[in-house]
Every structure is written in C-alpha cells, then in structure tokens.
Amino acid sequence: MKFLDSSVPIATCDATGCEGCKVSNSVQCHFGPGDLYHFYLIFFPILLVGGAGALAIGVVPLLIWIGIIISFFGFIEIRVMCSHCPHYAEEGSTLQCWANYGAPKLWKYRPGPMSTGENVVFFAGLAAVFGYPLGFFITAGSWFLLAAYLLVTAAFAVTLKRFLCSQCMNFACPLNGVPEPVRQLFWARNPSIREAWETEE
C-alpha cells in the first residue's frame, strides 16, 4: 500500500516543509497504514453484524447491501464529498487516505463547500448504507443481532466523530469538527482552498 510522504507538504500547501508546522498537531494532512487499519477496525464489525442480518434472509439481500456499500463509498461519496477534500488534489488516480483508500478519482478536484444537493445525497447515502440491514433484523426477529448492530454502529459514529472528523482536512464535509481557529491556520498554508471558500460563500 502506498501513502504520501509525511515530510512533504500536501499538493495544496504552500509551505516548503512540514517540520515544525503548528497545523500538523490539529489537522491530519498525511495518512499511514495505522490510520487505515484503525478505520477498518471500527467499520468491520458493522459489516460483520449487518452482513449476518442480511444473510439470515438470503444471499441476495446481502449482495444488494454490498452493492450499496461499494456504490456509495467507492463512487457516490467520492463525488459529493471527497472531491472537495484537499487530499483529492494529490497526484494519482486513487485516494490514499484513512477511510476511502483505493477509491477511484473519476471527477475533478472541487475545493470549497459542498452544495445543498450534495449534502442531501451524502446523508441519503449514509441512511441507505447503515439503515438497510435494520429491516432484516426485525423481519427475522433477530433482536440480539439488532442490539449488536446498533451498538457497533454507535461505537463507529462516536469514534469517527471523536478521532477522525475532529482533525479531518475536508472542511466541506458536514460532519467535520475542526474548530474555526484551526481552519484559519490550515487555510493560511493552503491559500487556494481559502480562495475557493471565499468565492463560494
């Protein structure tokens, strides 16, 4: 697996080096295998429990859920959300980050905020991915699996918000939790992104 060199500033950054950069304490500009494995660790239990619920009904419901997941995280989310992320501006045809690693970059990089339509598609996609297995648990009366699914999904959401969204460089994402003063610091080093936001706002 390939990741960006953590000593070299990202494509949008005007700095000559990352050493001593105050932004690096608060915003994750580079990613490594540990970041990706951490994401897999918190997302895999959802796949396992949700997949068991769908499989209890049949193979087809499971395949449909897998199709929804791949369509959303591999393509739709990349278009509506990730194409606004500074990481998307890097060279190469696929993402090398901590969540959607390997997703193809089929669209152009579009710095600046997400549109209302993109926000609607983003949340509708999340609802489809995480809501899809719920009906199967209820139909099959799998109450233990339902409780387990809600638990691992809640754990995923809390961990994501607490440790990833709080330092993610994609300020366009509606889940982003980076505080305004830190955004200003990041934009000072990435002026082209600031300009894109100022043009859109």
Residues that bind ligand SF4 (CB under 6 A): 9-10, 13, 15, 18, 21, 23-24, 29, 81-82, 85, 87-88, 95, 97, 99-100, 168, 170, 173, 186, 189
* Cα angle value 176/35/102 (rounded, 5°): 85
In whole angstroms, the minimum distance from the beta carbon of 141 to ligand SF4 comes to: 36
In whole angstroms, the minimum distance from the beta carbon of 8 to ligand SF4 comes to: 8
DSSP readout, 31-47?
--HHHHHHHHHHHHHHH
Q: Is 123 strand, coil or helix? A: helix
Please identify, using beta-carbon distances, which residue of 122 and 136 lies nearer to ligand SF4.
122
In whole angstroms, the minimum distance from the beta carbon of 189 to ligand SF4 comes to: 4
134 burial class (0-12, 13-18, 19+ CB within 10 angstroms)?
middle
Please identify, using beta-carbon distances, which residue of 7 and 60 lies nearer to ligand SF4.
7
In whole angstroms, the minimum distance from the beta carbon of 149 to ligand SF4 comes to: 23
Please identify, using beta-carbon distances, which residue of 38 and 56 lies nearer to ligand SF4.
38
Residue 94 β-bridge partners: 104
Contacts of 197 (CB under 8 A, 6+ apart): 111, 112, 113, 171, 187
| Phi, psi (deg, nearest 5) at residue 94 | -135, 160
In whole angstroms, the minimum distance from the beta carbon of 197 to ligand SF4 comes to: 16
Please identify, using beta-carbon distances, which residue of 31 and 137 lies nearer to ligand SF4.
31
Please identify, using beta-carbon distances, which residue of 123 and 144 lies nearer to ligand SF4.
123
